[in-house]
Amino acid sequence: MVYTCYEMVRDCRADKPEGWRYFLANYVPVIRKLLAHYASGPAPAIETVLAGLRQSESSLFASLDPSPERWFVGELRQKVAAALPLPEAAAPLDLATVAKALEPLTLVEKQAAWMESMGYTPADTGVMLRMAPTTVEKIRARAAELLRAQVDTWSRTMLAENGPGLGRAAGAAHTPECPPSKTFLDMLDGRSTWRTREENERHVTGCWHCIDHFCRMAEVVQMLRGLQPLPEADVQALAKSLGIREEKAGGWKKWFGGS
């Protein structure tokens, strides 16, 4: 048998050590990647981030529905990003201005441009969106000129500099029509029918919450590739620092033959 993400969510919600130790082993590497990418200054200590997540477990671990791993990591990503201070941009930019400026772009062009606000290079974006880096560069050059026409103070890096604030604004712009994470994962995995994809794209193309959501799911898919669990010694040290009690015999490691 395999200890699932659903069982981890259930056990963390109940404050069971087996759930928290599984979380530390498998998702601290994700948190470290997120901090390395998104922290604009010195990254907060991992213990500080984890303590905050434990205090807010009612939200991160709220759902007891079956929890696919990539959905959970998407939620974790949002929690970590929200815990970071917002950097001050030299040329402030709001989401409404971005939406107006980039309205002429296609959906995939908007995604390529938006991933610049997430701090990803054309090469990284090309991998996640399955396009050539040179194509990403051309799209971003056009997006920069469209933005330039809408603002009084412009810089070529203003989209990236305003990225954290734009991401929070897009994340908060959810509407009842916005599809769930599974829809975007199905699109990324090629499981959507043409008709379903076209129906979703009619909404997503004009919704910056969904454009951001799609890009976050593409980020999660790439981030989880080849990720290795935390060494047991590090799990023990973090568990001790967080006050997680000792795991009873027969905890999550039994599913993997651990001692």
Tell me: the pLDDT tens digits for 139-183?
A: 999 999 999 999 999 999 999 999 999 999 999 999 999 988 888
pTM: 0.89
Burial of 218 (0-12, 13-18, 19+ CB in 10 A): buried
Residue 248 lies in a domain: yes
Check whether residue 138 and residue 217 sit in a common domain: yes
Check whether residue 161 and residue 81 sit in a common domain: no
Check whether residue 25 and residue 145 sit in a common domain: no
Q: What residue has token string 């296609």?
A: 106
Check whether residue 129 and residue 67 sit in a common domain: no
Which pair of structure tokens corresponds to residue 19?
A: 């759930």
pLDDT value, residue 196: 76
pLDDT value, residue 61: 82
Residue 27 lies in a domain: yes
pLDDT value, residue 24: 96
pLDDT value, residue 259: 32
Return d(Cα 234, Cα 238) in angstroms, integer: 6
The residue segments making up the domain with residue 142 are 95-224
CA atoms within 13 Å, Cβ hemisphere of 176: 0
Check whether residue 129 and residue 204 sit in a common domain: yes
Number of domains in the chain: 2
Instruction: Give pLDDT tens digits for 237-255.
Output: 999 999 998 766 555 454 4
Contact partners, residue 48, CB within 8 Å, separation at least 6: none
Mean pLDDT of 213-234: 93
Residue 90 lies in a domain: no
Check whether residue 177 and residue 78 sit in a common domain: no
User: Band of the pLDDT at 123, cuts 50, 70, 90?
Assistant: very high
pLDDT value, residue 248: 66
Instruction: Give pLDDT tens digits for 63-113.
Output: 666 568 888 999 999 999 988 988 888 899 999 999 999 999 999 999 999
21 contacts 247 by C-beta, under 8 angstroms: yes
In the predicted structure, residue 222 carries a pLDDT above the cut 80: yes
Mean pLDDT of 183-205: 82
Length of the chain measured in residues: 259
Check whether residue 106 and residue 211 sit in a common domain: yes
Residue 120 lies in a domain: yes
